[in-house]
Amino acid sequence: MTKQVQQLDRVIIRFAGDSGDGMQLTGDRFTAETASFGNDLSTLPNFPAEIRAPAGTLPGVSSFQLHFADHDILTPGDAPNVLVAMNPAALKANLSDLPRGADIIANADEFTKRNLQKVGYDVNPLEDDSLAEWRLHSVPLTSLTVKALEEFDISKKDAERAKNMFALGLLSWLYGRPVEATIKFIETKFAKKPEIAKSNVAAFNAGYNYGETTEAFSVSYEIKPAPLSAGVYRNISGNQALALGLVAASVQSKLPLFLGSYPITPASDILHELSKHKRFGIRTFQAEDEIAGVGAALGAAFGGALGVTTTSGPGVALKAETVGLAVTTELPLIVVDVQRAGPSTGMPTKTEQTDLLMALFGRNGESPVPVIAPATPSDCFDAAVEAARIAIKYRTPVMLLSDGYLANGSEPWKVPSQAELPDISVPYTTEPNGDDGTTFLPFKRDTETLARPWAIPGTPGLEHRIGGIEKADGTGNISYDPNNHDLMVRLRQAKIDGIDVPDLEVDDPDGDARVLVLGWGSTYGPIAAAARRVRRGGHKVAQAHLRHLNPFPKNIGEVLKSYDKVLLPEINLGQLALLLRAKYLVDIISYNRVRGLPFKAEELAGVIQEVIESE
């Protein structure tokens, strides 16, 4: 039977199941197949903080959404075209996101009376007409898998567990994905358990063949590769890109990297990744707590290392005093905050942009810190290098604000070569800098950058003491002199204000838009996708995205004032808007949702449209 192949320009698939069903792995593999096929893509994992919530319940549902296309895309997509629901809970939790006409592939075996009851279904939705507005494919995934694995010497439980590979096989056929890499992946993953490896490959193949032979699926789809610019690509998540960016920063600064970190969701993967790269001389230190993590990093920085600490919001709160110490001792330090929903523990696996004001102001005293926010998962690489550049050049702690969406989301990344990366090295100070030629003044500043010398232990003749107590300008000796304190407060502020930050670029295709939509951090994708939609609808909108939150680009006031209206969507209650209103006296229009999820492009397109039309 030859089946019909339909061309599509893009597809959004959401794999959903129980936390133990392996949905993240299934999504990762489908993503890897899609990446190697050459589509552009963007992913959104969404999982509970509980490692294994009670099976079959709504809180236990874990999902992975993948958007892939034959053109460049900016977001993991608003609404899935296909939902793979491994159990009733997965169906119930995700159905409201599913537009009419979308495909549902449901694992019929799991729609038992007991499982239905657990989530409040009185009647099996696969059997009544309640799903009539969608295209339902009710497939007994578990029993088909078990049957396909009859010949293997494995337990029934192990056979059942392979159902995610059956589902992956089926989806791989449905969208014409290359399968070799997945087979190789399974063989490597279960190298020590050959029978499990063979059975998982068999389940995967059975799913693929099921799609090809059964009449339940009459059409398969083709999504052509996207025309990306020439180069080597890999699919990368934000946390991975950030970790590689830190390795690159270490190499490009010629400084040994020291990471002091305490495990915390959603930042731990950066610690895991950096721990693998000891060949680069990277020391990773899992500290006893958040404070020790940043303390050790600062101690290493005093010793001449590129000191880094990685955490999420609750950790930043704990590190605040030490960051203040780094501000006043003027040592380089990178503080990575992978923001998550707060306050307090909040929702650890959900995303938010609510730490901006804490990053800027969450310390005692006048304590200015540069803040940088990456825009996309792969941009985390460049943002990490930029954070290191500023930290080293200006001898200051730098806050790098990623978030849960960037951390776990992924996209294709055009891999740079080392030759393309900037040299961010700054030599240590090795000679006395006093006028007499013999004394060393640890707080005598560079006239251009206002950075103080970085003289590290082991350097003869430059022995000096630094600390948290106010220092006399120049000598760094303890000083309680009122005028000296006023001077030092202003000098530290002036140093940060003077950081060389590139101008804010505005994307305005026709050059005559009257509405500017501004964003920062991870909202780049949805905002840019929304702006495209609005323009496709014949309207004009300019778009700009802030990477540097402190100091702001020098031209930002001018940019803001050159539009009739400035719209600023944020996943907080208007933190950047507050700053811009205060600093530039511009009446920013805020759009805020704090749902632990990224914005949807359609949602923002509607908001932009409204602002344009209200002119």
Partner 1 sequence: MSESLNGKGLALVPKAEGKQTLKDFKSDQEVRWCPGCGDYAILAAVQSFMPELGIKRENTVFVSGIGCSSRFPYYMNTYGFHSIHGRAPAIATGLAASRPDLSVWVITGDGDALSIGGNHLIHALRRNVNLNILLFNNRIYGLTKGQYSPTSEVGKITKSTPMGSLDKPFNPISLAVGAEAGFVARTIDSDRKHLHSVLREAAAHRGTSLVEIYQNCNIFNDNAFEDLKDPDKRDVITLRLEHGQPIANATQAVRLAPTGGLEVVARDSISPEEILVHDVHNPDPSLAFALSRLDEPAFQHVPIGIFRSVDRPSYDHLMSEQLEMAVAQRGPGDLDELLQGGDTWKIN
Work out the end-to-end distance of the chain between its first and last CA atoms, rounded to an integer number of angstroms.
58
* 183 is a contact residue toward partner 1 (CB under 8 A): no
For partner 1, the binding residue among 191, 216, 469, 585 (CB under 8 A) is: 469
* 289 is a contact residue toward partner 1 (CB under 8 A): yes
Classify each residue of 152-186 as buried b or exposed e, where b means 16 or more C-beta atoms within 10 Å of its C-beta: bebeeebbbbbbbbbbbbbbbbbbebebeebeebb
- In the complex with partner 1, the residue whose CB is nearer, 153 or 288, is 288
* 262 is a contact residue toward partner 1 (CB under 8 A): no
* 478 is a contact residue toward partner 1 (CB under 8 A): yes
* 279 is a contact residue toward partner 1 (CB under 8 A): yes
Helix residue ranges per DSSP H, 42-87:
none
Which residues ranging from 31 to 60 are in contact with partner 1 (CB under 8 A)? 32, 35-36, 38
Pairing, β 410-414 against β 306-311 = unpaired
How many other C-beta atoms are found inside a 10 Å radius of the C-beta of residue 134?
Answer: 16
For partner 1, the binding residue among 260, 313, 368, 526 (CB under 8 A) is: 260
Could you give the CA distance from residue 138 to residue 467 in angstroms, rounded to a whole number? Answer: 67
* 365 is a contact residue toward partner 1 (CB under 8 A): no
456: exposed, middle or buried (Cβ count in 10 Å: 0-12, 13-18, 19+): middle
Report the greatest alpha carbon distance in the chain. Answer: 92
* 256 is a contact residue toward partner 1 (CB under 8 A): yes
Find the part of the chain contacting partner 1 (CB under 8 A) among 148-156, 276-284, 501-509, 513-521.
Answer: 276-284
Long-range contacts of 48-54 (CB under 8 A, 24+ apart): 48/19, 48/349, 49/265, 49/347, 49/348, 49/349, 50/19, 51/19, 52/19, 52/20, 53/19
Which residues ranging from 328 to 357 are in contact with partner 1 (CB under 8 A)? 329
Find the part of the chain contacting partner 1 (CB under 8 A) among 114-122, 154-162, 243-251, 370-378.
Answer: 243-251
* Smallest distance from partner 1 to CB 66, Å: 15
How many other C-beta atoms are found inside a 10 Å radius of the C-beta of residue 568?
Answer: 25
Per-residue tokens: 312: 């999420």
* Smallest distance from partner 1 to CB 325, Å: 5
- In the complex with partner 1, the residue whose CB is nearer, 132 or 230, is 230
* 258 is a contact residue toward partner 1 (CB under 8 A): yes
Q: Mask of contacts with partner 1, 545-574, x by CB under 8 A?
A: ------------------------------
Residue 361, CB half-sphere, CA atoms under 13 Å: how many? Answer: 7
* 465 is a contact residue toward partner 1 (CB under 8 A): yes
Could you give the CA distance from residue 303 to residue 299 in angstroms, rounded to a whole number? Answer: 6
For partner 1, the binding residue among 270, 291, 335, 589 (CB under 8 A) is: 291
User: Total residues at the site for partner 1 (CB under 8 A)?
Assistant: 71
Find the part of the chain contacting partner 1 (CB under 8 A) among 80-88, 98-106, 296-304, 607-615.
Answer: 296-304
Cα pseudo-dihedral 425, 431, 434, 436, rounded to 10: -150
Which residues ranging from 403 to 442 are in contact with partner 1 (CB under 8 A)? 415-418, 421
* Smallest distance from partner 1 to CB 168, Å: 16
For partner 1, the binding residue among 44, 73, 325, 399 (CB under 8 A) is: 325
For partner 1, the binding residue among 84, 106, 300, 567 (CB under 8 A) is: 300
Could you give the CA distance from residue 327 to residue 382 in angstroms, rounded to a whole number? Answer: 23
Which residues ranging from 194 to 233 are in contact with partner 1 (CB under 8 A)? 228-233
Residue 341: phi and psi, rounded to 5, are -65, 130
